[in-house]
Amino acid sequence: MALIHFIFELFKILIQSAIYSSIILFGINSLVKPKPGSLFYFFKNEKALAWVLSWVIISIGLLFFMFSYYGDHGLGDSARIPIGHHREIGQTDIMSHIEPKNKGVIYINEFIITDDYVYGTLEKHNLDLNQNYFVYDLKLNTVQLFDQIIPLNSFLTSKNVSQESPYQTFGEHYNQYWNGWRFWLLP
C-alpha cells in the first residue's frame, strides 16, 4: 500500500513541477527584459532546455520537501501531523499516538492542538495506563496524565491554555492540516 501511495506522490510531484516550471518560464518571458549574458536571457532564449532544467530542479526540491518535517504526511497506512517544536502525532492503521520522552508510545483518542500543548482523551488500548486524559507539553516533550477532567482543566488554566475548542479525532485534524492549499500545491 505504501508503494502505491509513493508512486502516486511521484506522479503528483512530476505534474506539479511541470506546472510550476511553466508558470516560472511564462513569468520570465512576459515580465522580464533580460540583458544578454544573464541567466534570464538564457531562460528566454533556450525555452525547452530551461523548462526541462527548472522541471528537474523543482521535482527534486519537492521530493526532498515531501520527506521533511513539514512535508511528510505519511505513506500507505501511516499518517502524521506536524504539531510544532518538531513533534508529531502519528497514526498507524487506525491508532493515533504520541511519543513523549517520559512515557514512550501513548495511544490517544480525541484531542486539541494548541501552540505548546496537545491535550485530550486517552485511547483504551494503553494497557499500562489507567488514566483518561493527557496533556502533551511540546516544548519539553513530556506528557502528564489525569484521571478526571477537573484536574486537567485546572492544569490547562494554570498554563493559560484555551479550552474553548471541541475535541477532534486524528482524521479531523489531519484533514484540517493537509487538505486545501497544501493538498493542491505541495506533494
* Domain ranges within the chain, ordered by starting residue: 2-66, 78-182
Residues 102, 98: Cα–Cα separation, whole Å: 11
Q: What is the dihedral of CA 167, 172, 176, 180, to 10 degrees?
A: -160
Is a pLDDT exceeding 80 seen at residue 44?
no
Is a pLDDT exceeding 80 seen at residue 1?
no
Residues 6 or more apart from 129 whose CB is under 8 A from it? 106, 122, 145
Reported as a pLDDT band with limits 50, 70 and 90, residue 148 is very high
Q: What is the pTM of this model?
A: 0.83
Contact 146, 131 (CB under 8 A): yes
Output the pLDDT for position 83: 94
pLDDT tens figures, 102-121: 988 999 999 999 999 999 99
**Taking phi first (over 0 means left), then psi (-120 to 50 degrees means alpha), and beta for anything else, what does residue 180 get?**
left
Cα of 97 vs its chain's centroid, Å:
15
Residues 87, 100: Cα–Cα separation, whole Å: 9
Is a pLDDT exceeding 80 seen at residue 43?
no
Residue for grid cell 504526511: 73
Reported as a pLDDT band with limits 50, 70 and 90, residue 131 is very high
Mean per-residue pLDDT for 35-51?
Answer: 81
- Alpha helices for 78-163 (secondary structure H): 149-158
Percent of the chain exceeding pLDDT 90 equals 65
Mean per-residue pLDDT for 30-41?
Answer: 78
Burial of 69 (0-12, 13-18, 19+ CB in 10 A): exposed
Residue for grid cell 479525532: 169
Output the pLDDT for position 58: 96
Contact 119, 112 (CB under 8 A): yes
CA-based nearest residue to 152, from 161, 141, 142 = 161
Contact 27, 148 (CB under 8 A): no
Average per-residue pLDDT in the chain?
91
Output the pLDDT for position 32: 74
Mean per-residue pLDDT for 134-149?
Answer: 95
pLDDT tens figures, 55-89: 999 999 999 999 999 888 888 889 999 999 999 99
